[in-house]
Chains A and B, each alone.
Chain A
Amino acid sequence: QQQVKQSPQSLIVQKGGISIINCAYENTAFDYFPWYQQFPGKGPALLIAIRPDVSEKKEGRFTISFNKSAKQFSLHIMDSQPGDSATYFCAASMTGNTPLVFGKGTRLSVIA
């Protein structure tokens, strides 16, 4: 049972464009939703995270939008750059020291 569904599997965006990756979750007990960025040969790096008490969080060019009623959240990368080309994972967990449940990942390619 996949508890966090992520789409699309791959994404090609022009430099300067907006990259949008979507995730949906099933378990309403989840209350922490991070996004990780992974470059080839590296470990996942925490990018940005949100809790259900806010509908949007922005850090630089990265924004998470959260829809609690739909059980969906998304990552927007504004002004996408070739250096943003990586695999992005959404995840979810419950309060405290609990394991992350990951989506399957989205491979983003930003082309000039």
Chain B
Amino acid sequence: DSGVTQTPKHLITATGQRVTLRCSPRSGDLSVYWYQQSLDQGLQFLIQYYNGEERAKGNILERFSAQQFPDLHSELNLSSLELGDSALYFCASSPLSRAAEQYFGPGTRLTVT
């Protein structure tokens, strides 16, 4: 158990809908990263937050957005969902003292029908 929690574990929704994925980092970790894992693209970085501020952006679609709250939990919002958005979404957190080490949560499996 990495100490990173993600909810929900599974999500099934229809095209055009909006969903919110939630992540709680390990205790004391200020950085949260979101990654998307699909069969054809592998693990792709989406976005990073550090202590509430957006730190880096990867290949994140404009339909997707995220935020990190004062208690350091983060939410990834996916809107106008398309079939191609079906994937596993992971969040990871890293400690201040060993900033390069990232610890992943169990993921949310999103299925868009």
Contact = CB atoms under 8 A, between A and B. Distances in A.
A103 B102 CA distance: 16
Nearest to A2: B42
Interface of B is mostly: strand
B105 A43 contact: yes
19 contacts: A42-B106, A43-B4, A43-B104, A43-B105, A43-B107, A45-B2, A46-B101, A46-B102, A46-B103, A95-B99, A97-B48, A97-B99, A98-B100, A100-B35, A100-B45, A100-B102, A101-B45, A102-B42, A103-B42
A13 B110 CA distance: 33
A43 B42 contact: no
Interface of B: 2, 4, 31, 33, 35, 42-45, 48, 50, 55-56, 58, 90, 92, 94, 99-107
A43 B2 contact: yes
Contacts, number: 60
Contact of B50 (A32, A45, A97, A104): A97
Interface of A is mostly: loop
Interface of A: 32, 34, 36, 42-46, 49, 89, 93, 95-105
Contacts of B94: 97
A102 B43 CA distance: 6
Contacts of A43: 2, 4, 90, 92, 104-107
Given A43-B107, A97-B48, A105-B42, 18 more contacts: A34-B101, A34-B102, A36-B104, A43-B90, A44-B43, A46-B101, A46-B104, A89-B42, A89-B43, A93-B100, A95-B99, A95-B100, A97-B55, A98-B100, A99-B45, A99-B48, A101-B45, A104-B42
